Structure 1
Amino acid sequence: MNAVIIEDEEFASKRLARLIGELAPEIEISAQLSSVESGSAWFSQNTPPDLIFLDIQLNDGYGFDILDNLEDHPPVIFTTAYNEYAVRGFKYNGLDYLLKPIVKADLRTALDKFRKTSTNNEGFSELKFERMKQLFQKEYKHRFMVKVGNQFRSFDVDDIAYFKSNEGLIYLHTHTAQSYPIEYSIDQLENILNPIHFFRINRKFMVSVKAVIEIHTYFNSRLLLKLKPREETQVIVSRERTTNFKRWLDM
């Protein structure tokens, strides 16, 4: 039995492959692909696997784009970073899923379900895929326009280390230690930024994974972070967000 992993985060792909090896050693990973382009090319040149692990949102499109080009396909276990309400809709459609960051127990359950239903592909109808596309095809923000003096500059989200609320304003902080006010709230940023790359740690900070360079335990079950570029004030992960923050970093 073999499977293909299509995931644009290299670390997440390797971790998923390792977990599959631990939980289902009978499944051989035929390929680990990272984009719609590479996925489409692989399927055009190879026999379809028994199972596909498919990231819903890839850097160059959606995982559904790969499936659209196939006349027929095997069962799919989707991976997604979307919130629990969207996942409920996903589950209602009768498809397997893994919510990022992937938990070993969830993967075990999905694999058990696949083993039981591998001979029945009824749940993967075209109608259900269409519903899933409508549910999950959400565009995250790629750039921010900021005013610098009498001019405007555009920053890619990859350039941004973290966002900070200070005296009623939200500031964008770049990896090169630049800071600019923007016209967004932290609540708005949480909805428009890709949750794979940014995490809201408390009421004032939303950080990128690349900005976190040290993590220390802190009293009252919280965490103290060291960010790059350096932040003068203490950056603390609130107690109610600590567990999800650890899962976010461990994906």
Structure 2
Amino acid sequence: MNILIIEDENPAAKRLMQLIKEILPTAILYGNLDSVESSIDRLSSNPAPDLIFCDIQLADGLSFSIFENIEVNSPIIFTTAFDQYAIKAFKLNSIDYLLKPIDPKELKHAIEKFQQQTQTPNLDFNKIKEIIQAENKTYKSRFLVKIGEKIQSIPTSDAAYFYSEERITFLKTYENKKFVLDYTLDQLENMLEPKQFFRLNRKYITSFSSISEIHTYSNSRLKIILKDCSDNDILVSREKVGAFKDWLDG
């Protein structure tokens, strides 16, 4: 079996090669290649390897650029330091991955999975890039609000939830104070850390900590009770229930 290693950190590459040799003693290992450019040169001028181990962040950019520039039919096992949020993209796209530092048991399992596959999955690199870019995005850490003639800065961590009422957007704090914001909920949805806040419906964006109760409701919907909120009819639509449960499960 011919295996190509694409990894820009020499210690990580050496460890990976050592672990692979322990599992597949007869495997022929090539690499390690440390850049998008060198990987394109190698793959475009040589027969396709039986398997590729590929780091995501290389010396000259994301490794996805390799596969966008040339056709690669080899199965790929990605190695990544990105956390579980980004890794959801790999699961959704049927891509195998190893989280650094690489665990020998996980490596063995990934190789066994590769050996059992009958075809190479179709990889949606654009979708994965979107999620990784979201992972690296800087989200809003505070909001400027006007109180009479004064301007105050409210940390986003103090926000229990956001809501819209009569075309005005409000920030409600854990201390049960509310402030008017100059943003729509649609704008806020892109400013807030998605691991901390969820858009329940067209009127509410909530933090995890402000949810008091969750009830099943008709038509497979969910009814949400927020702390210090007088609205008892906050519903999550059937279409959003799955995403909401995934968010709760973290």
State the TM bucket, normalised to the shorter chain.
0.5 to 0.7
Deviation at 1:153, TM superposition (A): 1.2
Identity of aligned residues (%): 34
Aligned residue identity for 2:179: Y
Query: What is the letter of the counterpart of residue 163 of structure 1?
Result: F
- Candidates 96, 109, 112, aligned match of 1:110: 96
What pairs up with 1:149-228 in 2 under 5 angstroms? 149-228=148-227
Distance 2:179 2:244 in 1: 26
CA drift of 1:150 comes to: 1.3
SS in 2 for 1:247: helix
Distance across 2 between alignment mates of 1:100 and 1:151: 40
- The aligned residue for residue 146 of structure 1 is 145
- 1:70-149 equivalences under 5 Å are 76=55, 96=78, 102=88, 106=92, 109-111=95-97, 115=111, 116=114, 135=133, 137-149=136-148
Kindly provide the amino acid, as one letter, of the partner of residue 194 in structure 2: P
Cα deviation for residue 230 of structure 1 reads: 3.0
2:151 & 2:177 partners in 1: Cα distance? 14
Q: Is the 8 A contact 1:161 1:229 kept in 2?
A: no
Q: Secondary structure at the match of 1:220?
A: helix
Which residue of structure 2 aligns with residue 241 of structure 1? 240
1:234 to partner: Cα distance: 1.8
The TM-score, its normalising length taken from structure 1, stands at 0.52
Structure number with higher relative contact order (C-alpha < 8 Å, ≥ 6 residues apart) = 1
1:232 deviation in Å? Answer: 3.1
Q: Map Cα deviations across residues 25-45 of structure 1 (whole Å, 9 max, x no partner).
A: xxxxxxxxxxxxxxxxxx9xx
Change (3 A) 1:172 1:243: same
Q: Deviations over 1:210-231 (max 9, x none)?
A: 1112111011111011112333
Deviation per CA, 1:101-153: give whole Å up to 9, x if none.
84996598524995349xxxxxxxxxxxxx99x94542211100111111111
Match of 1:68 in 2: none
> CA 1:190–1:108 in 2, change beyond 3 Å: closer, same or farther?
same
Question: Which structure has the bigger radius of gyration?
Answer: 2
Cα distance in 1 for residues equivalent to 2:196 and 2:181: 19
RMSD: 4.1
Structure-2 change in CA distance of 1:212 and 1:107 (3 Å): farther
Structure 1: distance between partners of 2:144 and 2:87 = 30
Alpha-carbon distance between aligned partners in 2 of 1:190 and 1:91, rounded to the nearest angstrom: 32
- Structure 1 residues without counterparts, runs of 5 or longer: 1-42, 52-73, 79-87, 118-130
Count of residue correspondences: 162
In the alignment, the residues of structure 1 paired with residue 185 and residue 66 of structure 2 have an alpha-carbon distance, to the nearest angstrom, of: 27
**Residue pair 1:176, 1:229 contacting (<8 A) in 2 also:** no
Normalised to the residue count of structure 2, the TM-score between the two structures is 0.53
Contact 2:140 2:192 in 1 (8 A): yes
Structure 2: segments with no counterpart, 5+ residues: 1-8, 18-52, 58-63, 70-75, 99-106, 116-128
